[in-house]
Copies of this chain bind each other. A is one copy, B any other.
Amino acid sequence: MELKRVSIKDVAKEAGVSASTVSYVLNSTPTETISPETTKRVMEAVRNLGYVPNLNARSLSSRRSNLIGVLIPQTEPGKELMFSNPFYGELLSSIEYTARQHGYHLLLSGTKEDQDYRSIAQNRGVDGVIIVGTYPGENLNALKKLDVPIVLVDSYIKDEAFHTIGIEDKEGARMATRYLIAKGHRRIAFISGSIRENGVNIKRFQGYRDAMLEAGLAIDDQAVYSGAVDYEYGMAAAREFLSRGKRQTAAFVTADVITMGLIKGLKQQRVRVPEDLSIVSFDDVYLAQMAYPALTTVHQDIGEKGKQAVQLILNAAKSKEHRHTECILPLRLVERESVREWRDEA
């Protein structure tokens, strides 16, 4: 669905004046040549039609609004933005901080899947757009026509039209799973948010799978848990872990916020971490060190991710050519308290 853009001519027609008069009213300080009545009529037409002046004559690449659009998806209907995962707060903080250092401000939208992202960005005349997470392909195609730099964060969509910034999700997951194997674990659960095409969780699942297979370990269907990236799902996964018979001694969990809920849920069921279940988590949000036990987790540099996303837009805006840039940030495992060595009681 694409909204028809209201033009200055539509406003002029509605107000019964010429397009140049509309233009004057919107852009000049009041002059004697335009009467208050005319001004009022134009402004009413502007309001009635929902006209937004086209600030971005985008073919003229010199035009800048110093505004960066940030789209954080509402992937789960009914949920409010960012509440459920501190990852978004940290990323947004870094994006905002970096943008501000360069004299830019943020236009923040937590979009719904059925909204037209393009019209949002276009009407606001943004200089670039940062999109966090995975989107339906159709909406991204509409965004391509914006003719401003677009950075996809944590998406595996490959398209010359977009810059991308991400991490080695598959490698990080492999690192986490190998670590558990090295500690003696053989039965290892995989617990994640929903697994979607072009998203990070499918890559993390592949990393888990590869580490298991290279160690000659079987992947049990019953060891794979998939839900939502939030605290509540972690609690639910704990209940599920019990109802499936507590078959694993360790788990790789793809987000710290899930792990927090998981630990809480396990505690309620008297399953101890790491005594009964060892956990390696992912993200290293600031919560990870606050947890009890503190989380052993795959650290990604969220601050750097936000910083680089802004930098990609600033660089792309400077250069004339729209060259696709791909930025991959390194990962490392941080050892804390949520894993113990396992010796099989066989």
Contacts and interface: CB of A to CB of B under 8 A. Distances in A.
Interface of A: 7-8, 19-20, 22-30, 39-40, 43-44, 46-47, 52-55, 57, 60, 62-65, 67, 80-83, 86, 88-90, 92-94, 96-97, 100, 105-112, 120, 124, 231, 260-261, 264, 267, 286-287, 289-292, 303
Nearest to A289: B264
Contacts of A89: 82-83, 86, 88-89, 92
Shortest beta-carbon contacts, A-B, top 8: A89-B89, A292-B292, A106-B108, A80-B97, A23-B27, A43-B60, A82-B93, A81-B93
A107 B110 contact: no
Contact of A107 (B27, B105, B290): B105
Contacts of A291: 290, 292
Nearest to A110: B96
The A contact surface, by secondary structure, is helix
30 contacts: A20-B20, A20-B24, A23-B28, A25-B57, A26-B53, A26-B55, A27-B53, A27-B54, A29-B54, A39-B57, A40-B60, A43-B60, A44-B62, A46-B62, A47-B64, A81-B93, A81-B96, A82-B89, A82-B93, A86-B86, A86-B89, A89-B89, A89-B92, A93-B110, A100-B109, A105-B107, A106-B108, A264-B289, A290-B291, A292-B292
Contacts of A124: 67, 105
B39 A28 contact: no
A129 to B, nearest CB: 13
A110 B95 CA distance: 11
A193 B168 CA distance: 39
Most buried by B among A43, A90, A260, A290: A290
Contacts of A108: 92, 96, 105-108
A30 B88 CA distance: 40
B105 A93 contact: no
Contacts of A67: 107, 124
Contacts of A287: 287, 290
